[in-house]
A = this chain, B = another copy of it.
Amino acid sequence: MIRRFTTQSDYLLREALIGLWRGGWMNWAAISTLTALLFLLGLGLQVSTQLDGALAKLGSQLEISVYLQPKVRAIALEPKLRSLPDVLQVQSIPKEVAWEALQKELGVQGDISESLGGNPLVDTLRVQVARPTVVAHLAQQIQSLQGVESVNYGSEAAERLGSLQKALGWAALTLASILGISTVAVITTTIRLIVLSRRKEIEVLQLVGATPLRIAIPFVLEGFALGLLGTGFAWGLLLVTGSFVEQKRQEFLPFLAPEPIHLPLGLILLGTGTGLGVIGSLLAVRSALREN
Protein backbone atom coordinates (compact mmCIF):
# COMPACT_ATOMS: atom_id res chain seq x y z
CA MET A 1 0.00 0.00 0.00
CA ILE A 2 2.74 2.43 1.01
CA ARG A 3 4.82 1.19 -1.90
CA ARG A 4 1.88 1.86 -4.20
CA PHE A 5 1.49 5.33 -2.75
CA THR A 6 5.10 6.31 -3.28
CA THR A 7 5.05 4.88 -6.81
CA GLN A 8 1.99 6.95 -7.61
CA SER A 9 3.31 10.16 -6.05
CA ASP A 10 6.46 9.68 -8.04
CA TYR A 11 4.42 9.36 -11.25
CA LEU A 12 2.17 12.28 -10.43
CA LEU A 13 5.03 14.64 -9.66
CA ARG A 14 6.87 13.56 -12.77
CA GLU A 15 3.80 14.03 -14.89
CA ALA A 16 3.28 17.53 -13.51
CA LEU A 17 6.90 18.37 -14.29
CA ILE A 18 6.69 16.89 -17.78
CA GLY A 19 3.47 18.81 -18.35
CA LEU A 20 5.16 22.04 -17.33
CA TRP A 21 8.15 21.26 -19.46
CA ARG A 22 6.19 20.34 -22.59
CA GLY A 23 3.59 23.06 -22.11
CA GLY A 24 6.09 25.54 -23.54
CA TRP A 25 4.79 28.97 -24.41
CA MET A 26 1.36 28.19 -23.02
CA ASN A 27 2.89 28.06 -19.55
CA TRP A 28 4.71 31.28 -20.20
CA ALA A 29 1.48 32.86 -21.24
CA ALA A 30 -0.15 31.74 -18.01
CA ILE A 31 2.79 32.80 -15.88
CA SER A 32 3.19 36.16 -17.56
CA THR A 33 -0.48 37.12 -17.31
CA LEU A 34 -0.53 35.92 -13.73
CA THR A 35 2.61 37.91 -13.05
CA ALA A 36 1.19 41.03 -14.63
CA LEU A 37 -2.04 40.85 -12.71
CA LEU A 38 -0.53 39.91 -9.38
CA PHE A 39 1.95 42.70 -9.88
CA LEU A 40 -0.86 45.16 -10.48
CA LEU A 41 -2.71 43.83 -7.49
CA GLY A 42 0.35 44.14 -5.31
CA LEU A 43 1.09 47.57 -6.68
CA GLY A 44 -2.44 48.67 -5.95
CA LEU A 45 -2.26 47.43 -2.39
CA GLN A 46 1.17 48.92 -1.87
CA VAL A 47 0.27 52.29 -3.36
CA SER A 48 -2.86 52.48 -1.29
CA THR A 49 -1.01 51.77 1.96
CA GLN A 50 1.67 54.18 0.85
CA LEU A 51 -0.82 56.94 0.15
CA ASP A 52 -2.58 56.18 3.35
CA GLY A 53 0.67 56.52 5.25
CA ALA A 54 1.64 59.68 3.41
CA LEU A 55 -1.69 61.33 3.97
CA ALA A 56 -1.70 60.31 7.60
CA LYS A 57 1.68 61.94 7.91
CA LEU A 58 0.55 65.14 6.20
CA GLY A 59 -2.50 65.06 8.37
CA SER A 60 -0.50 64.65 11.54
CA GLN A 61 1.21 67.93 10.84
CA LEU A 62 -2.15 69.60 11.01
CA GLU A 63 -3.06 71.34 14.13
CA ILE A 64 -5.95 73.14 15.71
CA SER A 65 -5.30 76.60 17.09
CA VAL A 66 -7.42 77.24 20.16
CA TYR A 67 -7.98 80.88 21.19
CA LEU A 68 -9.10 81.22 24.78
CA GLN A 69 -11.35 83.82 26.37
CA PRO A 70 -9.41 86.87 27.70
CA LYS A 71 -9.19 85.79 31.34
CA VAL A 72 -8.62 82.05 30.82
CA ARG A 73 -5.08 80.72 30.96
CA ALA A 74 -3.80 78.02 28.56
CA ILE A 75 -2.15 75.95 31.30
CA ALA A 76 -5.57 75.32 32.82
CA LEU A 77 -6.98 73.78 29.69
CA GLU A 78 -3.94 71.83 28.58
CA PRO A 79 -4.63 68.58 30.53
CA LYS A 80 -8.24 68.53 29.34
CA LEU A 81 -7.19 68.85 25.70
CA ARG A 82 -4.52 66.23 26.13
CA SER A 83 -7.15 63.78 27.33
CA LEU A 84 -9.24 64.09 24.19
CA PRO A 85 -9.04 61.18 21.73
CA ASP A 86 -6.77 61.51 18.66
CA VAL A 87 -4.84 64.37 20.19
CA LEU A 88 -1.13 63.89 19.71
CA GLN A 89 0.37 66.91 21.37
CA VAL A 90 -0.73 70.16 22.97
CA GLN A 91 1.39 73.27 23.12
CA SER A 92 0.42 76.24 25.27
CA ILE A 93 1.31 79.75 24.12
CA PRO A 94 0.71 82.30 26.90
CA LYS A 95 -0.38 85.72 25.61
CA GLU A 96 2.79 87.32 26.98
CA VAL A 97 4.94 85.17 24.73
CA ALA A 98 2.73 85.89 21.76
CA TRP A 99 2.81 89.63 22.41
CA GLU A 100 6.56 89.68 22.66
CA ALA A 101 6.84 87.80 19.39
CA LEU A 102 4.41 90.18 17.70
CA GLN A 103 6.27 93.23 18.93
CA LYS A 104 9.54 91.81 17.71
CA GLU A 105 7.97 91.06 14.38
CA LEU A 106 6.60 94.58 14.02
CA GLY A 107 9.96 95.99 14.99
CA VAL A 108 8.53 97.91 17.96
CA GLN A 109 11.06 99.15 20.46
CA GLY A 110 10.07 99.07 24.14
CA ASP A 111 6.78 98.02 25.65
CA ILE A 112 3.72 99.46 23.91
CA SER A 113 1.18 97.49 25.92
CA GLU A 114 0.63 100.39 28.22
CA SER A 115 -0.37 102.74 25.47
CA LEU A 116 -2.82 100.08 24.32
CA GLY A 117 -4.24 99.63 27.79
CA GLY A 118 -2.50 96.29 28.41
CA ASN A 119 -1.64 93.22 26.32
CA PRO A 120 -4.42 93.01 23.68
CA LEU A 121 -3.81 89.32 22.96
CA VAL A 122 -5.22 86.12 24.50
CA ASP A 123 -3.68 82.75 25.46
CA THR A 124 -3.65 80.18 22.67
CA LEU A 125 -3.06 76.42 22.45
CA ARG A 126 -1.83 74.40 19.52
CA VAL A 127 -3.35 70.94 19.35
CA GLN A 128 -1.75 68.36 17.06
CA VAL A 129 -4.22 65.83 15.70
CA ALA A 130 -3.51 62.20 14.78
CA ARG A 131 -5.76 61.77 11.72
CA PRO A 132 -7.00 64.42 9.30
CA THR A 133 -10.48 62.92 9.21
CA VAL A 134 -11.15 63.75 12.85
CA VAL A 135 -9.82 67.32 12.82
CA ALA A 136 -13.18 68.95 12.10
CA HIS A 137 -14.97 66.92 14.71
CA LEU A 138 -12.28 67.51 17.33
CA ALA A 139 -12.28 71.22 16.63
CA GLN A 140 -15.99 71.32 17.24
CA GLN A 141 -15.53 69.44 20.50
CA ILE A 142 -12.86 71.86 21.67
CA GLN A 143 -14.95 74.84 20.61
CA SER A 144 -17.66 73.70 23.00
CA LEU A 145 -15.28 73.55 25.99
CA GLN A 146 -15.62 76.22 28.61
CA GLY A 147 -13.15 79.06 28.31
CA VAL A 148 -12.60 78.59 24.59
CA GLU A 149 -13.30 81.69 22.54
CA SER A 150 -12.72 80.27 19.07
CA VAL A 151 -10.83 77.56 17.22
CA ASN A 152 -9.07 77.63 13.92
CA TYR A 153 -7.88 74.54 12.14
CA GLY A 154 -7.11 75.57 8.58
CA SER A 155 -10.37 73.81 7.98
CA GLU A 156 -10.13 73.68 4.23
CA ALA A 157 -6.76 72.00 3.97
CA ALA A 158 -7.57 69.48 6.68
CA GLU A 159 -10.90 68.60 5.19
CA ARG A 160 -9.44 68.26 1.76
CA LEU A 161 -6.76 65.91 2.92
CA GLY A 162 -9.28 63.91 4.89
CA SER A 163 -11.67 63.50 2.03
CA LEU A 164 -8.82 62.86 -0.38
CA GLN A 165 -7.84 60.00 1.85
CA LYS A 166 -11.38 58.66 1.89
CA ALA A 167 -11.67 59.00 -1.87
CA LEU A 168 -8.38 57.26 -2.38
CA GLY A 169 -9.57 54.48 -0.11
CA TRP A 170 -12.59 54.09 -2.36
CA ALA A 171 -10.51 54.17 -5.50
CA ALA A 172 -8.12 51.59 -4.11
CA LEU A 173 -10.99 49.31 -3.17
CA THR A 174 -12.58 49.62 -6.61
CA LEU A 175 -9.29 49.04 -8.39
CA ALA A 176 -8.40 46.09 -6.21
CA SER A 177 -11.73 44.41 -6.88
CA ILE A 178 -11.49 45.01 -10.63
CA LEU A 179 -7.97 43.65 -10.65
CA GLY A 180 -9.04 40.69 -8.56
CA ILE A 181 -11.83 39.89 -10.96
CA SER A 182 -9.62 40.19 -14.01
CA THR A 183 -6.98 38.03 -12.39
CA VAL A 184 -9.54 35.32 -11.76
CA ALA A 185 -10.89 35.63 -15.30
CA VAL A 186 -7.51 35.53 -16.96
CA ILE A 187 -6.12 32.71 -14.89
CA THR A 188 -9.19 30.51 -15.27
CA THR A 189 -9.18 31.15 -18.99
CA THR A 190 -5.52 30.40 -19.37
CA ILE A 191 -5.60 27.22 -17.35
CA ARG A 192 -8.75 26.16 -19.11
CA LEU A 193 -6.91 26.63 -22.36
CA ILE A 194 -3.95 24.63 -21.12
CA VAL A 195 -6.35 21.84 -20.24
CA LEU A 196 -8.03 22.24 -23.62
CA SER A 197 -4.74 21.82 -25.41
CA ARG A 198 -4.28 18.58 -23.50
CA ARG A 199 -7.84 17.40 -23.85
CA LYS A 200 -6.79 14.47 -25.98
CA GLU A 201 -4.48 13.36 -23.20
CA ILE A 202 -7.28 13.58 -20.65
CA GLU A 203 -9.62 11.69 -22.97
CA VAL A 204 -7.09 8.92 -23.55
CA LEU A 205 -6.27 8.63 -19.87
CA GLN A 206 -9.95 8.19 -19.14
CA LEU A 207 -10.28 5.58 -21.85
CA VAL A 208 -7.41 3.50 -20.52
CA GLY A 209 -8.71 3.43 -16.98
CA ALA A 210 -7.12 6.28 -15.06
CA THR A 211 -9.40 7.55 -12.27
CA PRO A 212 -10.55 11.18 -12.43
CA LEU A 213 -8.53 12.02 -9.33
CA ARG A 214 -5.38 10.59 -10.83
CA ILE A 215 -5.92 12.61 -13.99
CA ALA A 216 -6.61 15.81 -12.07
CA ILE A 217 -3.68 15.77 -9.65
CA PRO A 218 -0.87 16.56 -12.13
CA PHE A 219 -2.91 19.46 -13.52
CA VAL A 220 -3.56 20.80 -10.05
CA LEU A 221 0.13 20.54 -9.22
CA GLU A 222 0.89 22.36 -12.43
CA GLY A 223 -1.58 25.09 -11.55
CA PHE A 224 0.07 25.38 -8.16
CA ALA A 225 3.49 25.65 -9.74
CA LEU A 226 2.29 28.27 -12.21
CA GLY A 227 0.79 30.25 -9.35
CA LEU A 228 4.03 29.97 -7.43
CA LEU A 229 6.13 31.15 -10.35
CA GLY A 230 3.72 33.97 -11.16
CA THR A 231 3.84 35.14 -7.57
CA GLY A 232 7.61 34.92 -7.52
CA PHE A 233 7.98 37.06 -10.62
CA ALA A 234 5.37 39.54 -9.46
CA TRP A 235 7.16 39.85 -6.13
CA GLY A 236 10.45 40.43 -7.88
CA LEU A 237 8.91 43.09 -10.09
CA LEU A 238 7.35 44.73 -7.08
CA LEU A 239 10.70 44.92 -5.32
CA VAL A 240 12.32 46.40 -8.41
CA THR A 241 9.51 48.90 -8.91
CA GLY A 242 9.59 49.62 -5.20
CA SER A 243 13.24 50.58 -5.27
CA PHE A 244 12.66 52.65 -8.40
CA VAL A 245 9.73 54.44 -6.81
CA GLU A 246 11.77 54.93 -3.65
CA GLN A 247 14.42 56.64 -5.73
CA LYS A 248 11.84 58.92 -7.35
CA ARG A 249 10.33 59.59 -3.95
CA GLN A 250 13.63 60.75 -2.55
CA GLU A 251 13.85 63.06 -5.53
CA PHE A 252 10.35 64.48 -5.43
CA LEU A 253 8.81 63.82 -2.05
CA PRO A 254 11.71 63.73 0.36
CA PHE A 255 9.49 64.70 3.28
CA LEU A 256 7.55 61.39 3.07
CA ALA A 257 9.00 58.50 4.99
CA PRO A 258 9.00 55.34 2.87
CA GLU A 259 6.49 52.61 3.63
CA PRO A 260 8.59 49.49 2.92
CA ILE A 261 7.13 46.63 0.85
CA HIS A 262 6.36 44.17 3.58
CA LEU A 263 5.92 40.44 3.88
CA PRO A 264 2.14 40.37 4.44
CA LEU A 265 1.73 41.76 0.95
CA GLY A 266 3.87 38.89 -0.34
CA LEU A 267 1.73 36.41 1.53
CA ILE A 268 -1.47 37.91 0.12
CA LEU A 269 -0.04 37.61 -3.39
CA LEU A 270 1.22 34.09 -2.76
CA GLY A 271 -2.16 33.01 -1.48
CA THR A 272 -3.96 34.64 -4.39
CA GLY A 273 -1.55 33.26 -6.99
CA THR A 274 -1.37 29.66 -5.87
CA GLY A 275 -5.02 29.60 -4.83
CA LEU A 276 -6.09 30.78 -8.25
CA GLY A 277 -3.72 28.36 -9.94
CA VAL A 278 -5.08 25.39 -8.02
CA ILE A 279 -8.74 26.35 -8.22
CA GLY A 280 -8.43 27.25 -11.89
CA SER A 281 -6.85 23.88 -12.66
CA LEU A 282 -9.46 22.00 -10.66
CA LEU A 283 -12.35 23.70 -12.42
CA ALA A 284 -10.79 23.34 -15.82
CA VAL A 285 -9.87 19.69 -15.45
CA ARG A 286 -13.26 18.91 -13.98
CA SER A 287 -15.05 20.39 -16.96
CA ALA A 288 -12.74 18.48 -19.32
CA LEU A 289 -13.42 15.25 -17.46
CA ARG A 290 -17.13 15.85 -17.73
CA GLU A 291 -17.01 16.51 -21.44
CA ASN A 292 -15.50 13.15 -22.32
Please give the residue numbers on chain A whose beta carbons come within 8 Å of chain B beta carbons, in ascending order.
26, 29, 32-33, 36-37, 39-40, 43, 47, 58, 106-108, 112, 115-116, 120-121, 156-157, 160, 163-164, 166-167, 170-171, 174-175, 178-179, 181-182, 185-186, 189-190, 192-193, 196-197, 241, 245, 248-249, 252-253, 255
Contacts and interface: CB of A to CB of B under 8 A. Distances in A.
A92 to B, nearest CB: 20
A253 B175 CA distance: 19
A285 to B, nearest CB: 16
Chain copies in complex: 2
Say what secondary structure dominates the interface of chain A. Answer: helix
List 6 tightest A-B contacts by C-beta distance, closest first. Answer: A36-B182, A163-B252, A29-B189, A193-B193, A106-B120, A167-B252
Contacts of A33: 182, 185-186, 189
A181 to B, nearest CB: 7
B182 A253 contact: no
Contact of A185 (B29, B164, B252): B29
Contacts of A156: 255
B249 A167 contact: yes
A36 B115 CA distance: 74
